[in-house]
Amino acid sequence: MSKAFKACPLFDAHKAFVRLPMGKAMLECYPDAKQFLLNVCQTIPDALDDFLHTQSFLKSYSRKSEATFRGYRNEVERLLLWAWTVAGKSAIQLKRPDLEGYFDFVHNPPTPWIGTSVQDRFKIIGGESRQNELWRPFAGKIAKENRKQAIVEGTDIEVLRDGHTLSHEAMKICYSAVSCYYDYLTDEGYAFGNPIPAIRKQSPYLIKGTTQKNIKRLSDLQWDYVLECAQSAADGDPLHERTLFVTATLKSLYLRVSELSDRSNWQPTWKHYWRDSDGNHWLKVLGKGNKMRDVSVPSALLPFIERYRLYRASLSPSFGINSALVAKNRGTGGMTSRQLRRIVQDAFDLAYDKMLSEGFGGEASALREATTHWLRHTGASQDIATRPLKHMADDLGHASMGTTDQVYIQSDMKERARSGKTREV
């Protein structure tokens, strides 16, 4: 079986996918994907049915959220492309040994299936959605620090594709998505059962047991510099008021960046900041799994909120409770997660430069790896020692206190390490 990449992507991004007609009509918008599928059908007649049932599967999950659609799309598309071009079979012809081979393939994909960067599946050429020749089902990763350094130095980075393996967490997602897919095909009467649970139980790629989690967070020194630099930037230029507000809010309220972003089913506005009858302040957010929650707002954050509110009110006489919580400088409406990440990165870059100039080279270098999600972990890690576990779990949006305990509380392992040091050989 050849492992060379001879396939074409099948399903576009969520924004385009949800607007397309269902059935074979969808392929009329993608001539390369249509031709690829026609070629496959010459040797695998069931491939068209594979495509149509997969399309329906993704359509059903596209209604939930863009992130859910994207995760399932990535996994089932990989499976179809492998089944057709490597195994030479339809998805419903794959037996347990085939699928075990597929998970071996996914865990350590061959170099031709790995791209040097994340690419869009299609490009608009001459008004048509044509295959992006640079796209691959897998993408090599580059450390954020190395990428930033290359930009500074103006050099190219060689992405190593040999030896690329999926992490334990990525394999868990893969098994889960493919299992959900076969459940759907079985319910629709297209497949005769779901072999994935039995395969997953014997998988060598899923590791059981509890280990110490390495929470990626800013150190206290790094956070002090990030906040100080964001505040200084806002004092010097009103355009940075948004940078200060976003950075302080994500950290203090333990928010995921998506919970502050504008989405198809939720637009954060100023009315979502509210005060109860006892004078307590809250922010209403829509979290993972489309679960609504109210996050308690600390008194220390109120000056930052008021500062940004006054700035926004000074820009527009129409500003009010229905205005977007974090607005674009140009245009109308709220901001996407990608735009918010760029804002936070500006704060990180300011802090990096200042730390480097003041002799904190090690801390500055570590800050290069920081992402927006580190702000959530930073706030929670700082507060976990002084707040009840139940309160932390509710504000974080965790379904159970066990999750909060496992992720953020490290005292048990510290005590175990302390007592273990006295053992004799």
**Could you tell me the residue ranges of all domains in the chain?**
14-201, 220-419
Q: Is residue 82 exposed (0-12), middle (13-18) or buried (19+ Cβ within 10 Å)?
A: buried
Q: Between β-strands 281-286 and 273-275, what pairing exists: parallel, antiparallel or unpaired? A: antiparallel
Phi, psi of 374 (to 5 degrees): -60, -30
Considering the domain delimited by 220-419, tell me its CATH architecture: Orthogonal Bundle (1.10)
Q: Is the pLDDT of residue 147 over 60?
A: no
d(CA 376, CA 380): 6
Q: Is the pLDDT of residue 217 over 70?
A: yes
Looking at the DSSP assignment, which residues form a beta bridge with residue 266? 263
Helix/strand/coil percentages in the chain, nearest 5: 55, 10, 35
What digits encode the pLDDT tens for the residues 339-348?
Answer: 999 999 999 9
What digits encode the pLDDT tens for the residues 224-237?
Answer: 999 999 999 999 99
Helix runs in 126-219, H state only: 144-153, 168-187, 196-201
Residue % of the chain over a pLDDT of 70: 90
pLDDT given at position 131:
95
pLDDT band at 152 (very low <50, low <70, confident <90, very high): low
d(CA 58, CA 70): 9
Lowest mean pLDDT among 46-50, 94-98, 361-365: 361-365
Cβ-contact 179, 194 below 8 angstroms? yes
Distances (CA, A) of 180 to 48, 57, 194: 20, 9, 9
- Sign of the CA dihedral 182, 184, 186, 189? negative
pLDDT band at 12 (very low <50, low <70, confident <90, very high): very high
pLDDT given at position 114:
92
CA-based nearest residue to 9, from 101, 83, 74, 89: 74
Residue with the bigger pLDDT between 332 and 245: it is 245
pLDDT given at position 196:
95
Does residue 146 come out as left (phi exceeding 0), alpha (psi in the -120 to 50 range) or beta? alpha
Cβ-contact 131, 5 below 8 angstroms? no
Terminal-residue alpha carbon distance, the chain:
53
Q: Is the pLDDT of residue 271 over 60?
A: yes
Helix runs in 265-372, H state only: 302-315, 337-357, 361-367
d(CA 377, CA 367): 14
Lowest mean pLDDT among 65-74, 100-109, 155-164: 155-164
Q: Region 396-419: what's the mean pLDDT?
A: 72
